[in-house]
Structure 1
Amino acid sequence: MSTQITILALLTGLLTGALFRFLNIPIPAPPELPGVMGIIGIYVGYKIIDHFEVGVDFLELLGA
């Protein structure tokens, strides 16, 4: 993971969030901490399964 890309992504998000607030537009993300924590939980859960290299190819099960 590139630190530079991570910092640029954070800055882009901060500027976008500031612009949305300045223009009084609702943000397309959960505006409360529990919603943000849910998104973080999804990411962490994904990375845990990826780390242990387990899983099922769901599309293969469907025959796609």
Structure 2
Amino acid sequence: MKEVILSLVTGVVVGFLFTLFRLPIPAPPALAGIAGIVGVYLGMKVFEWVSYFWK
């Protein structure tokens, strides 16, 4: 849980700094982009699950 909180805090700080300096944010600003990131994570988890049974 500590990693999740640290990641969230880091993301907020990065988002704040990028907006402060008027830079484009380094992440997709739309819900579809966020869904893509979640999809990549889920794909990794599915691969780990499948590879566990492959051995």
TM-score (normalised: structure 2) = 0.78
How large is the Cα RMSD of the aligned pairs? 1.4
Report what 1:7 is aligned to.
Answer: 5
Q: Which has the larger radius of gyration?
A: 1
TM-score (norm: length of structure 1): 0.69
The equivalences for 1:21-32 within 5 A come to 21-32=19-30
Higher relative contact order (CA 8 A, sep 6+): 2
Q: Which has the higher helix share?
A: 2
- Point out 4+ residue stretches in structure 1 off by more than 4 angstroms: none
Instruction: Please state how far the C-alpha of 1:45 moved relative to its aligned partner.
Output: 1.3
Structure 2 runs not aligned, ≥5 long: none
Q: Deviations over 1:12-64 (max 9, x none)?
A: 1111111111221101221111011111101111101212326xxxxxxxxxx
Q: How many residues in Structure 1 have an aligned counterpart in Structure 2? A: 52
Percent same amino acid at aligned positions?
Answer: 42
